[in-house]
Chains A and B, each alone.
Chain A
Amino acid sequence: MITLLIDGKQVEVKEGTTILEAARQAEIYIPTLCDDPRLEPYGACRLCLVQVKGMPRLVTACTTPVAEGMEVQTSNEQIERIRKTIVELLLSDHPNDCMVCEKAGDCTLQELAYFYNLRENRFLGERRQYAQRDNNPFIERDMEKCVLCGKCVRVCEEVQAVAAIDIAYRGFNAKVTPPFEKDLNCEFCGQCISVCPTGALIGKLSIGRGRQKDIQKVDTICPYCGCGCNITLHVSRNEIIRVSSSPDNINEGWLCVKGRFGFKFVNSPDRLKKPLIKKNGKFEEVSWDEALDYVASKFREIKDRYGPDAIGGLSSARCTNEENYLFQKFIRATIGTNNVDHCARY
């Protein structure tokens, strides 16, 4: 264990911890834009600059490992001035269209602008402008809003091992792009969207579907494969408009294309809305009472005539435990047979 002082507070952390991690453990806030604890430290946004006693320069808290007896100051006049300049520089090259931006209300840049009370901008000048749109069906890429934090590039390479995007060009014109500015063609896991601090990467399915403040968030489990990824449904007007996942769960916040974007079926117009009974070869909508009475009478009739073993039930690997429990209980206790199975039992 290593002991250090952060803003005069004694903190004890494991060797190899960064100053930023140590500060977070001690609940000391340091602003960041390019940090994600799940990714390799990057040190690009420079917001987490801190003063370490004895070091000739300010250092980034996210990249600097702690050392025994280190004395760290997370804020002073110079540091705050630089942080403000950085945010102001970012805003000087940003569309600042928060009134129509999907990310408004959940945007780190917006937070920082608010925090530093940046209404005026001393550095207004040329702004990057890109006419080209990415025609992939999942991810809206508005590179004018990109702050080059590199999280999308890193997550795609380090976590997803796809490396579909990288930074191209130099200096002010640096830009995150798929090779040769082609349309994105990847696994569409959307991990990049989940780490983007601004509105540069947005799921196309959620555009125009509801403001952040109107969204109700419900934690649940992904309905697809057996990984059991924890997901959060973003709901607006009885409709799922987005799926996210929190970094501190078993799937570490990562999802696949199905989990992140495969929710539209829920609100599909094809959904069954009323019980149906086939009459003369055609389905007719009926009331629940009619349907249930009919099913019950048919089951009773067959059971009476052929015995309970003439009835079988197939349950579903996509229903809940409780429903599966009830289903087999129904077959066993109500019908009276062990003819119960599910399709994916093997």
Chain B
Amino acid sequence: MAGLATVFGSGAMTNSIPEIENNDLLFVIGSNTKENHPIVALRMIKAVRKGAKLIVADPRKVPMVRFAHLWLQHRPGTDVALLNSMMHVIVKEDLIDREFIVMRTEGFNEEFINNLEEYTPEVGEKITGVPKEKIIQAARMYAMAKHPGIYYTMGITQHSHGSDNVFCIANLALMTGNLGKESAGVNPLRGQNNVQGSTDMGCIPNLYPGYQKVDIQPVREKFERLWGVSLSDRPGLTAPEMIAEAEAGRLKAMYIMGENPVLSDPDIGHTVKALKCLDFLVVQDIFLTETAELADVVLPSACFAEKDGTFTNTERRVQRIRKAINPPGEAREDSWIIMELSKRLGYDMKYTNIEEIFQEIGMAWPAMAGITYSRLEKGGLQWPCPTTDHPGTKYLFKGGFPRGRGRFTVVKYRPSAEEPDKEYPFVLTTGRILFKYHTDTMTGRVDPINKVAGEPFVEINPEDALILGIEEGSKVKVSSRRGEITLKAKISKRPGKGVVFIPFHFKEAAANMLTSSQHLDPLCKIPELKVSAVRIEKV
């Protein structure tokens, strides 16, 4: 998200979900939408049925490919080359939107154009493995469409060059003027129900709620006034940095609320080791997760059905959640726990109900000032919504970008940090499957789901399987420089040759035993979860 924020000034889906059905072209890259955002996928399919063209770029033959007019099967980690090559074609064939570039953007200069110069379709083909004709076709289809939407998820971001990928996507949209319009834009799809919200709310080491920077004095002063305390001016540690600092012995205590980093973060061995180094670990969750097992104190909390509040979905829509049942035993709402702790630490947060907290958010961040619980009774509202008579914002950047002009970024293709080699000849890419969610703490406790998707597996291309003598259902050992796991093989044409896929949900064969925590994106510090080198052996 930092990537988009850098070039536009704020990071979120620029369009809303209902607008999808009026796209005349959908460019889905690095998103297994039908499995991971099933309901967004339905809108995409609806658009296709209404006549839209669909381009899917994915190393795997994900289910959306079935509906695609064009499928670009690029090698994992070569998105920059693919996108630059498409832009090369667009510039060369003069399919750019001059007026938009002049009026609304900056950085479309010689350096930028010169950089694209080298990414001819031939070069693109060489790096990505996608035939150049397809690259050219995709470029033309995108550039000539009137309402093209780009959709991406972790397939774009979970790389050591994740921000570069995002910059390229932004460049592509900017040079064709496909932003700030209805049914045309750049749309990262969020993987969890309230990722958008927790980012908006400032659970980010350098940002207060509403993307306001902690190191800008007037901003800090505003929050000091609002909260009545003095605040630190140093940006804090990111999650991967916290783990590293813990291991180094400099971070002494952690408070983890509703997350299971042991399973969701790369290199499990490393994460466990780091957490064990802490003097004190508090985990607040609804289940005794793998992370909670390591804690000194575990606080039982209420789940979504047991509390009131709001979630913000991937299209910036703030929506009400409502309490339906009582929490089990003595489990309490997270807000109650935080307030009790705070009081004991001498800072009394005085709220008599949840809505008061929400009102304070509106005071801290003008984009949500116009939203009230009573307005939300009639359905969600999309931020920005500055006043109580504002209808909310369907699509962003209508009049301009928050940072003024949209910025072009020069991006060079860098290979992934860990390329396959003799010892570890396969590229491992991780992800989710339809039936499972994240670290499976929730879906793993739904019997029917376990019946249809109970077992971990590794997807292997039939040609590779043949060479390795692996059959459907064979037990195989997958190892990387970090660790190894044993699981069943699933022979499938979904991954291309040389690529294997493992869903990361399963603790009994956790894909993140294999991934690396060392290769972080320099800008946003996301680890490279989508490309690791692995070896496969039959057991």
Instruction: Let me know if chains A and B touch directly in the complex, using CB atoms closer than 8 Å.
Output: yes
Q: Are the C-beta atoms of B193 and A318 separated by less than 8 Å?
A: yes
Q: Are the C-beta atoms of B298 and A272 separated by less than 8 Å?
A: yes
Determine, out of A20-28, A174-182, A320-328, the stretch whose residues face the partner at the interface. Answer: A320-328
A225 is contacted by which of B193, B306, B342, B349 (Cβ under 8 Å)? B193
User: Which residue of chain A has its CB nearest to the CB of B234?
Assistant: A338
Determine, out of A29-37, A109-117, A234-242, the stretch whose residues face the partner at the interface. Answer: A234-242
A345 at the interface (CB under 8 A from B): yes
Q: Are the C-beta atoms of B39 and A227 separated by less than 8 Å?
A: yes
State the main secondary structure of chain A at its contact with B.
mixed
User: Which residue of chain A has its CB nearest to the CB of B265?
Assistant: A343
- With A159-B42, A225-B191, A272-B300 in contact, is A321–B318 under 8 Å at CB? yes
B45 at the interface (CB under 8 A from A): yes
User: Which residue of chain B has its CB nearest to the CB of A224?
Assistant: B437
A130 at the interface (CB under 8 A from B): no
Query: Whole-angstrom distance from the CB of B290 to the nearest CB of chain A?
Result: 13
Task: Scan residues 427-458 of chain B and give those whose CB is less than 8 A from a CB of chain A.
Answer: 434-435, 437, 441-449, 451-452
Distance A153 CA – B415 CA, assembled complex (angstroms): 47
Determine, out of A78-86, A93-101, A291-299, the stretch whose residues face the partner at the interface. Answer: A291-299
Most chain B CB within a 10 A radius of its CB, from A188, A293, A340: A340
Query: Whole-angstrom distance from the CB of B226 to the nearest CB of chain A?
Result: 9
Query: Whole-angstrom distance from the CB of A223 to the nearest CB of chain B?
Result: 4
Q: Are the C-beta atoms of A228 and B314 separated by less than 8 Å?
A: yes
Determine, out of A53-61, A68-76, A260-268, the stretch whose residues face the partner at the interface. Answer: A260-268
User: Which residue of chain A has its CB nearest to the CB of B295?
Assistant: A278
Residues of A within 8 A of B328 (CB): 267, 271, 273
Distance A217 CA – B280 CA, assembled complex (angstroms): 42
Residues of A within 8 A of B521 (CB): 346
Residues of B within 8 A of A316 (CB): 194, 198, 257-259
Query: Whole-angstrom distance from the CB of B193 to the nearest CB of chain A?
Result: 5
Q: Are the C-beta atoms of A261 and B194 separated by less than 8 Å?
A: no
User: Which residue of chain A has its CB nearest to the CB of B45?
Assistant: A161
B77 at the interface (CB under 8 A from A): no
Residues of A within 8 A of B449 (CB): 137, 257-258, 261-262
A226 is contacted by which of B18, B189, B236, B341 (Cβ under 8 Å)? B189
Residues of A within 8 A of B364 (CB): 325
Distance A82 CA – B45 CA, assembled complex (angstroms): 38
Q: Are the C-beta atoms of B326 and A275 separated by less than 8 Å?
A: no
Query: Whole-angstrom distance from the CB of B430 to the nearest CB of chain A?
Result: 14
Q: Are the C-beta atoms of B257 and A315 separated by less than 8 Å?
A: yes
Query: Whole-angstrom distance from the CB of B504 to the nearest CB of chain A?
Result: 13
Q: Are the C-beta atoms of B435 and A257 separated by less than 8 Å?
A: yes
B100 at the interface (CB under 8 A from A): no
Query: Whole-angstrom distance from the CB of B393 to the nearest CB of chain A?
Result: 15
Q: Are the C-beta atoms of B434 and A257 separated by less than 8 Å?
A: yes
Q: List 7 A–B pairs whose Cβ atoms lie within 8 Å, in order of A's numbering.
A: A219-B320, A225-B192, A271-B300, A295-B282, A315-B201, A323-B338, A346-B162
The 4 A-B residue pairs with the shortest CB-CB distance, nearest first, are: A228-B313, A273-B329, A226-B190, A316-B258
